[in-house]
Amino acid sequence: MTDSPSQARVLQVNVNPAGGVPKHPVEVAMLTADGVRGDRQLDLKEHGGPRRAVCLFAAERIDALAAEGHPIAPGTTGENLTIGGLDWAALRPGDQLLVGERARLQITAPAPPCKTIADSFHERAFRRISEKLHPGWSRLYASVLTPGEARPGDPVRVIPATTPETDSEA
C-alpha cells in the first residue's frame, strides 16, 4: 500500500549537461534507466549507470545543513531530484518512489559523498552526508523501473519494499 496522500513533492529537478556539480534547476527532465536526460556524470566509475540512474536528496536535509552553517543549496551536492516531505531516514534500498504521473524509481543505495561536493560544506566537510558516519543524512541513488518525466511540484509517493504490491511487481 502506498503512503497516505502526503505533502511529499519534487521541489527541484537538477541537471548539468557539462557534468559534475552543481546541477542546475530545470522545468522538466525525463528519468530513464540510463539516467536523467540532459545530465552528465564525469566519473562513470562512481556515478551513473542503471543502479545509480537518479540521485535524490531531501530538501529538509539541505535546510538543516544550511542551518549548521554549510553553504549548501538544492543541486550543489549533485542530486537530480530535491524532494520535500518524505521521512528521509526511513527510506531503504528496495523502497519504490512514484514520481509524478508515470515515473517509478527504486532506491538502490546511499550515495557516498565525494570531494567534488566539498564546496557545499563548511571547511569542506563533505563526509557530513556519509551514511556510515551520519545515518539518514545521505543522498540516495535510485534505478528507474518505469521511465517518466519529473517536474517541480510533482507528487512523490513511497511504496515500502516489504509490501505485497512491490513483491508482485518484482
Q: What angle do CA 52, 93, 141 make, to 5 degrees?
A: 20
Which pLDDT score is estimated for 163?
A: 57
Which helix (H) or strand (E) is 60 found in, with range? helix 59-67
What is the distance, to the nearest Å, from the Cα of residue 5 to the centroid of all Cα atoms in its chain? 20
Q: Contacts by 42-48 with C-beta closer than 8 Å and gap 24+?
A: 42/116, 43/114, 43/116, 46/112, 46/114, 47/78
pLDDT tens, position by position, 11-41: 999 999 998 899 999 999 999 999 999 998 7
- Cell representation of residue 16: 548539468
pLDDT tens, position by position, 87-138: 999 999 999 999 999 999 999 999 999 999 999 999 999 999 999 999 999 9
Structural domains of the chain, with CATH? 9-169 (2.40.33.20)
Beta strand 103-111 with 139-146 is antiparallel
Confidence (pTM): 0.90
**126 backbone dihedrals φ, ψ, rounded to 5°:** -65, -20
Percent of the chain residues topping a pLDDT of 90: 82
The pLDDT of 52-67, averaged and rounded, is 97
CA gap 165, 71 in Å, rounded: 40
Which pLDDT score is estimated for 50?
A: 85
